Structures are given as structure tokens and as C-alpha cells.
Structure 1
């Protein structure tokens, strides 16, 4: 099965990612064929598979290489990610994802929620079969709990004036960075890497996830339907206030308060004015600077890991995330 074109330069990894998709597809068996079709279509909708890629690459850190187990753990990671995306779209009332209609916009919220829940069940099924120990299973469960807590924190902060950079970073640490950290850590554990190396892999994933979400939030202010697959400043329209805004508000809070007070009643002219203010107060540049710092932290953690070809690929894809436009 084909994978995203970004993996063309890494044929072995592309092959393993195809195996991840094949394994998930083979495990999807739902009595309600509508749900089964929805989940399979979402699986094959062209996601980048970044998190399972990191898990697979980190499964080469330690001395034992078990390809079947590594692929299964990567598949579990991707099931978690897909489930959170489906639920996100329901909460955000998003009509499209990467240019494609979302599940809830086609089939309604009930089918979307059930589809996401099924993917969580599939995650536990894969972990129960392939996790090497109860402690690894518990670690992944705790990781999922923190991811969901991050999602709830974002929901509770909707249309609430942002407070600080620290609060924002705490939220994305759970919402996004946690799954990247779990991905890298789980891969390292699968290879029976030394404890120090598994924690370095955890740190690597955490810093990657932090940089990734910051860049994602920057792109919300810069992109449009064609590049990002959703309206420009969609997060702001939904009352999700992210780092570029927080930095800009530190320079002139009062300039933004009237727009935040309008909540979901913003006009296109309002959006244009907010965008101009964020540019004026260099919110995007400051956010890019912080994303760069997290990327550099990730690369420093990567340097500490045992040598191998996997490190070159990890370096390439991690450095490239800072430059992505979608």
C-alpha cells in the first residue's frame, strides 16, 4: 500500500510504513459495515504517518530488532493518532481535514465518535498482543491519558483569553508532544535499548512534538484551504488561541481584546485585522524562534543515541519539520 511521498527517499522505512497500514487494515473488523468503511477510508486518506515513522526508527536504537513487534507498536501509535484526529474534528466542528471532508461532516457526530472509539479499542488490542511487558502497556496507557487531558484542557480554554506562554506549552505538551514522546520511547523499548537510551528517545520525541505543534499553530495564521486543508486562522475562529497570538498580546494586549470578545462572531475583516496585528507585533517570528529552539533540543538528544543509519534519517526528518508548509 502506498505511503506519503515524503518517504520516497527512505525505501526501507516506506516499506515498513506500508506494513503498518496493512496491519491496521487487517485488524479492522466491525459488525456495522458503515463504521468499518469509515475507519478504513480514514486510514487510507493519505496521512504522513510521522508518529509511526519515529517509532519504527527508534526501534533500531537497541540491540534487538523485532520487525513484527516494531510494526505492531507503530500501528498502535497510529491508531491513537487517528482516533484523536477524528474526535478533534467533532469538537472543532471542522468541515475538512487536509482538503477532504471530515467524517462528522459526512456521517454526523455519532458515527465519527464511534469510529474514534473503535480506533482506541484497536490500539489496546494491538498493545495487548505485542507490548513486551505490563509496564510498557501501562506506560502507553498513561501516555494516552495525558493526551486526552491535553485535549480537554484545550476544550476548556476555548474562547478564553490566553494567559501565558507557559500555559500554552503545558497544553501542547499533553495534546501533541506526549504522543511523539510515546512513539519514540515505545520504539526504543521494543529494541530493548538501555534505560538511558529509552529516556533520551522520550526526550527526543517530546521536543519534536513541541516544535511540531508550534509550527502547526504558526501555519494556521499563514496557510489556507489549498495548503493546510482548512480556512486561514481556523483555530482563532474556533476560540483556540495559540503561540503567535500570545506573543503578540504581550506587546499590546488591548489591541486584541475586542476581537477575542466577539468569540465566534468574527468577520473576514476582523480576521484580516488580527492577522495584521500579529505581523505588526512579530508573533509569528517569535513563535518560529521557539520552534527552532525545541528542534535544536531534539537534535541534541538525537546526538546522544547510539550510532546507526536510523540517526541520519531521524536527523533529516526532524530538521525538515521546521521548514514544512503543511
Structure 2
């Protein structure tokens, strides 16, 4: 089972992530084998599996060393993430993800909705089977609510050239950061760590998630689609304005507004013009500065964690440095 190359330097974690993927496979039992195969293809399409990795690493800090449970909960986290991606692709009318056709592009929106819903069910089944406390199930359901709120918040601000940085941060706190926070919390809490420690882990995950999304938005203005595995600047056409563009709007509003006013009628030349204005302005630098702030918050908090025998603390620090300093 092939995982992302980044895990080769973490063999124990690599083995646990492979076990999580295998459990996800076993959990899929659809009568429609074509759709089941499509979900499996997405699961094995080269995602970094960062959220289950953080869940597994934080599971080393408690006194309960139930390896089977940790792997199962990691699988449930990745199922939740995959379900949200399938639904995102429906809303965004996306045809590709990770360089592969999306489920909606292959089977249509109706089947994609059911596929995402099915993964939500699988997620909760695993959580119900393995979580030792209702607290974890409550956190899971509340996180889903926050993820949805972030998506709805983003939708309500489409084509709004007056959207603020605070609006953007509130939306990505739900849309992206919440699932990182949940992963860290569940890993710590279900391993027997104190609620106080689990909440500290959650805060670390929140900072990581915020930095990760900002970096992802920065990459839209610095990488080509074939590197990212998704259409570059498609968000701009759909009226989703990320941090680099919002920062550039502050200083280059006169040139950006006529382009953005075309909304979904923007041409490739228009989006390229937006791309150049953001690249040539201060928007990218200001966005990088904010991403660095959240990255530093996460790294400083990880430094304060207790030591573990299996190097989980060291791995947390190194992986966080690696993914938040990424260029692809």
C-alpha cells in the first residue's frame, strides 16, 4: 500500500497509517461496486494523511496504549476528511482532485452526495465502536457543525470584495482548522490524557490548521495546477477570495475591482491578471507573515509538551515544520 513519500522517514507511523487505510477499505461495503471503487481510488490517491497522523502521534501522550483503537480512530478521522472533500467537489463543481477525476465528475452530483454521506456514516460507526467516551462523539459532531459553519460562512461571502481578514480566518477556522484540532484532541483524549492536555493538543491543531490553509491559499498564487492537482485560481472565478487576494485588495483595489466584478464570467486572461497583481504586490508576503505566526504558535506549544519514549514529540515538531514550510 503506497503512502505519500514524506512518511518514509517515520516507519512506525507509516505502518500505522497503512493499517488505518486498510481498515477504511474493510469498512466500505457498498452494493454499487463502481462507486465503492471510486471512493477507494480517492482514499489511495496520494493524500498526505496529515489529520490521522496527528491523531496517532498525540495518542502516544496518554497512559492508554490501545494500538487498535488509535488506528481505528485515525481511520475515522480520514473518513470524515474524505467525505468533506467529496462534498466540497460538488459545491465547487470540481472535475479533478489530486490529479484524478472527482467522484462527481465521474458519477454525477447525486452519487457523489451519497458517497460522501456514506463515509460520514462509516466515520461515526468506527467512532462509536472504539471511542471510550461520549466526549469524543460530542467533539466529533460539534466539529462537523463547525466545519459546515465555515463552509456556509465562505459561501455567504462569495463575490464580496469587502470580506475582511477576520471573516476569512473565521471561515477557515471551521473549514480547515477544526479537523486538525479534532484530530489532535481525539488522539490525546482517547489515549487517557487529561482533558486539560487534550485541550492543549486541540489548540495546537487549530494553529496548525490555520497555518496550513493559509499556506494552501498562498500556493494557489505560486504553483501551477499540475503541481497542486487542482485548478489554480478556480476559487477566484467562484467568488472565494483567499488571504493573498484580500491583502492585495487593500493596496491595489482600483485594478482588481474591475476584474473581480466579472464574477463567473472571468476569462483565463482575467484570472491571470489577478494572479500577476497578487504576485507583484505585498499580498503574498503579508499572508506568509500571518502563516508564520500561526506556525510559530504551534511549534512553541509543541516544544512545551512532555517527552515521550517513542519520539512522538520530536516527530510532531519535525512534521509540523515540514508541512508548514512546504512549497507544494
For 2:94 and 2:275, locate their aligned partners in 1 and report how far apart those are by CA, in whole Å.
21
Give the stretch that moved more between structures: 93-102 or 16-25: 93-102
8 Å CA contact retained: 2:96, 2:229: yes
SS of residue paired to 2:241: coil
1:155 CA displacement: 2.1
Runs of 4+ aligned residues of structure 1 deviating over 4 Å after TM superposition are: none
8 Å CA contact retained: 2:143, 2:178: yes
For 1:4 and 1:50, locate their aligned partners in 2 and report how far apart those are by CA, in whole Å.
10
1:324 counterpart residue number = 326
1:290-315 deviation per Cα after TM superposition (whole angstroms, max 9, x unaligned): 10100000011112211121011111
For 2:302 and 2:200, locate their aligned partners in 1 and report how far apart those are by CA, in whole Å.
8
SS of residue paired to 1:8: helix
1:236 counterpart residue number = 236
After superposition, residues 88-167 of structure 1 pair within 5 angstroms as: 88-167=88-167
2:185 counterpart residue number = 185
For 1:2 and 1:15, locate their aligned partners in 2 and report how far apart those are by CA, in whole Å.
11
1:223 CA displacement: 1.5
1:48-98 deviation per Cα after TM superposition (whole angstroms, max 9, x unaligned): 100000000000111221111111111110001000101111111111112
Normalising by structure 2, report the TM-score. Answer: 0.96
For 1:181 and 1:117, locate their aligned partners in 2 and report how far apart those are by CA, in whole Å.
22
1:318 CA displacement: 0.5
1:68 counterpart residue number = 68
8 Å CA contact retained: 1:19, 1:71: yes
After superposition, residues 160-175 of structure 1 pair within 5 angstroms as: 160-175=160-175
2:315 counterpart residue number = 313
1:162 CA displacement: 4.1
Give the stretch that moved more between structures: 300-309 or 175-184: 300-309
1:277 counterpart residue number = 277
Could you tell me which runs of 5 or more consecutive residues in structure 1 were left unpaired when the two chains were aligned.
none
1:266 counterpart residue number = 266
For 1:183 and 1:314, locate their aligned partners in 2 and report how far apart those are by CA, in whole Å.
13
1:175-207 deviation per Cα after TM superposition (whole angstroms, max 9, x unaligned): 000000000000001111122211110011000
8 Å CA contact retained: 1:38, 1:115: no
SS of residue paired to 2:290: helix
SS of residue paired to 1:201: helix
Q: How many matched pairs?
A: 326
For 1:43 and 1:162, locate their aligned partners in 2 and report how far apart those are by CA, in whole Å.
37
1:225 CA displacement: 2.2
SS of residue paired to 1:21: helix
2:31 counterpart residue number = 31
8 Å CA contact retained: 2:46, 2:98: no
1:274 CA displacement: 1.2
Normalising by structure 1, report the TM-score. Answer: 0.97
8 Å CA contact retained: 1:98, 1:228: yes
Could you tell me which runs of 5 or more consecutive residues in structure 2 were left unpaired when the two chains were aligned.
none
